[in-house]
Amino acid sequence: MRRVNGIALLGRTAAGIGGATRVSGATPQRLVQAATIGLCSNSNPLWFNRQSSGDRFGLSKPSVAAGGAKCFSTSVAQEVHSHVSADKFAPNDVVLYQYEACPFCNKVRAFLDYNNIPYKVMEVNPMSKKEIKWSDYKKVPILKVDDEQMVDSSDIIDKLFQRINPENSFVDSEEEKKWRQWVDDHLVHVLSPNIYRTPSEALESFDYITSHGNFSLSERLVAKYGGAAAMYFVSKKLKKRHNITDARAALYGAAETWVDALKGRQFLGGSTPNLADLAVFGVLRPIRHLKSGKEMVENTRIGEWYSRMEGAVGESARVNA
């Protein structure tokens, strides 16, 4: 039984980086499903080194203010985003239940960070999931906004966007909608075959996942080496499932496709990022400093946009780092 749980853990762990599907058992199939999700993470060194881009929306931040845990300047981007009403959305407590390396969780974090909505992170143990036992929903991300539970990354972002912009009925443009969907349907599936492409890349990925996730010491060791070995093989199946013949070519192709979609604009949203920009940035951020992410930046034109996004998103709004 312990062994079964251990394998299930590896699958869920793998899901942290590239996956989108529930992995609750020990079968290779489930490992494959898990690995389709990819990296869910937010604490690469770069994340913490960014300059604060200010309280863009002038949102009050009661949890931060009250706890004094973190200060935000109200400078640079506030001018750009000051059209958003300051006092329409001021939750007392925002908690993100997540896996650090999960791309869907990273999408949500990119949105929260960009909008300077202070949030706490509750890192979920992928094996026991005890942190989300209170919920009927068994995946991450789950966002608790005061007493309200929100699930599914895109739904969470839609809801938050509406709360921030109550006067604008939420109609994302066809273009924005199309590229947000592309992230979920295509981009996330390209991640796992890349980050587990070779034994050393699989080990690098699991080193990242296990050092940033919620694991006991013994789970960490099993997950790191066992997971890397398992996912190296599973990633071959994933390639087939998603009709990928050359993982790097698929990643570079996706990056180039995205740059083409920008049509020379700074962001898909024009002079400021829209929800599609935030989604692409969110799912790429966990792989950015892995070998696959570095090579993607070296070998495609995505680097400039990515750097602009880092600047626009600014530092993390997480309050319990």
Ligand X SMILES: N[C@@H](CCC(=O)N[C@@H](CS)C(=O)NCC(=O)O)C(=O)O
Q: Which of 93, 131, 152, 207 binds ligand X (CB under 6 A)?
A: 152
CB of residue 182 to ligand X, shortest distance in Å: 14
CB of residue 97 to ligand X, shortest distance in Å: 10
Site for ligand X in 40-99 (CB under 6 A): 40, 99
Residue 141 binding ligand X, by CB under 6 A: yes
> Toward ligand X, which CB reaches closer, 126 or 314?
126
CB of residue 320 to ligand X, shortest distance in Å: 21
| CA 144/CA 159 separation, integer angstroms | 12
> Toward ligand X, which CB reaches closer, 17 or 244?
17
CB of residue 141 to ligand X, shortest distance in Å: 6
Cβ atoms of 39 and 203 closer than 8 Å:
no
Other Cβ atoms within 10 Å of 281 Cβ, number: 26
Residues in the chain: 321
Q: Which of 20, 96, 283, 309 binds ligand X (CB under 6 A)?
A: 20
Q: Which of 56, 70, 81, 139 binds ligand X (CB under 6 A)?
A: 139
Question: CA-based diameter of the chain, in Å?
Answer: 57
> Quick one: tokens of 82?
């000051």
Q: Which of 104, 111, 179, 206 binds ligand X (CB under 6 A)?
A: 104
Cβ atoms of 272 and 81 closer than 8 Å:
yes
Residue 12 binding ligand X, by CB under 6 A: yes
Q: Which of 82, 154, 165, 266 binds ligand X (CB under 6 A)?
A: 154
List C-alpha distances in Å: 17 to 13, 99, 147, 277: 8, 9, 29, 19
Count of chain residues binding ligand X (CB under 6 A): 21
| CA 262/CA 265 separation, integer angstroms | 5
Residue 175 binding ligand X, by CB under 6 A: no
Beta-carbon-side half-sphere exposure of residue 266 (alpha carbons within 13 Å): 12
Site for ligand X in 21-50 (CB under 6 A): 21-24, 37, 40
Residue 102 binding ligand X, by CB under 6 A: yes
What sections of the chain are H helices per DSSP? 2-18, 28-35, 45-49, 62-67, 76-81, 103-114, 153-164, 174-182, 188-195, 199-212, 217-222, 228-241, 247-262, 275-284, 291-299, 302-313
Residue 289 binding ligand X, by CB under 6 A: no
Q: Which residues contact ligand X (rule: CB under 6 A)?
A: 12, 15-16, 19-24, 37, 40, 99, 102, 104, 126, 139-141, 152-154
